[in-house]
Structure 1
Amino acid sequence: MVTVRPAAPDDLDAICAIYAHYVQAGVATFELTPPDRSEWLRRFSAIVDAGLPFLTAEIDGEVAGYAYCAPWKTRPAYRHTVEDSVYVAPDALGRGVGGRLLDALIADCTDAGMREIIAVIVDADGAASLALHSHRGFVEAGRLRSVGFKHGRWLDTVLLQRSLDAE
């Protein structure tokens, strides 16, 4: 069974390992070098200190994924818009982890007074992420062509957007 809870600093080693897999083996992120634990602690603190959700999913007490929302842009007019990130441990794929995390993010962002959530998804190898988001009401808002170069190829991103019920 998948349990979702607020992430804690003790989760950061597992989060580092999950993200490092996607940095090194895939194109879900455009980072080329996996961040170390101290960088993850900085990111974690910035998100939590901003009052935004940073969540961990567990299966049988082991971290099976994580998700968070960060500010979309730093300018004040964007303060009610966030960008989501959802990553599932490779051995936990297909077990409902991503869906549980994204559902919790949406609820937490609504409670935090956010109005819009943006997802930036690399369309190469991104079918699962696109499906995950579209099943939760995200709609395509645009496409950026050849904006990333990783693993010897140019990559497009698809921008998805979901409006929340926040007033």
Structure 2
Amino acid sequence: MLEEEYQPRRTLPRKLRPAPTEKPPLEVPFEFSIRDAVETDLPYVREIYNHYVANTVVTFDEDAMTLKEWRQKFTWTRKFDYPFLVAESPAGTILGFAYVSAWKQKAAYRRTVENSIYLGPAATGKGLGKALLKELIDRSKQAGIKEMLAVIADQGADASIRLHEGFGFKEVGRLGRVGFKFGHWLGTVLLQKSLK
């Protein structure tokens, strides 16, 4: 045996020992791509949306939307060449969606739309809403849309208002006590952006 094997192991007192080097936890990047929605995405779109119906006041819907209703909405947006987008993870999971719909059904309103953006709960706060809104605005311009509106609940949707204001939407009106959900009266904030 070697001589050094017989010597007692010497250690520094605890307070003089160097701190163990801790590796920071690996941060998995939040990756996604944005593409046109297809009909097979609609069950996932419905699932994301119905989460907001059941748990929030950001939509005034009180009943979960059916797949049939989403198919009708999707067909309607396609009829007018309005953008309907989904964001998906590299694994193919739908993380969120965004689309525009006619502001009013009368023909004179055909170049004015209302936008809608919904993210899966695990995808919030990561920049996805911003990316979807940017793409939605770009695609709407390409489709010849001139005005985009956002109708946002006046409670529980501060992040959505800030998001839209960051893209140049301006508040153009408020309606008070026009919705009643979860035992509370709710109003709406109307924001508008010209896409010229």
Normalised to the residue count of structure 1, the TM-score between the two structures is 0.97
Match of 2:43, SS state, is helix
Higher relative contact order (CA 8 A, sep 6+): 1
Aligned residue type for 2:103: W
Q: Determine if contact 1:147/1:157 at 8 Å carries over to the other structure.
A: yes
Match of 1:23 among 53, 59, 70: 53
1:97 is the counterpart of 2:128 = yes
Aligned residue type for 2:72: R
1:49 and 1:97 map into 2 onto residues whose CA distance is: 27
CA RMSD between the two structures: 0.7
**Match of residue 83 from structure 1:** 114
Q: CA deviation at 1:39?
A: 1.0
1:124 is the counterpart of 2:176 = no
Instruction: Answer 1 or 2: which has greater strand percent.
Output: 1
Structure whose CA Rg is larger: 2
* Runs of at least 5 residues in structure 2 that lack an aligned partner in the other structure: 1-30
| Pairing 1:14-163 to 2, within 5 Å after superposition | 14-60=44-90, 61-163=92-194
Aligned residue type for 1:5: R
Aligned residue type for 1:129: S
Match of 1:4 among 34, 42, 48: 34
Please identify runs of 4+ aligned residues in structure 1 that moved more than 3 A.
none
Aligned length: 165
Deviations 1:8-31 (A, max 9, x none): 111111111100000000011111
Q: Determine if contact 1:2/1:100 at 8 Å carries over to the other structure.
A: no
Normalised to the residue count of structure 2, the TM-score between the two structures is 0.83
2:114 and 2:140 map into 1 onto residues whose CA distance is: 10
1:132 and 1:8 map into 2 onto residues whose CA distance is: 26
Percent of pairs with identical residues: 45
Aligned residue type for 2:190: L
Q: CA deviation at 1:59?
A: 2.0
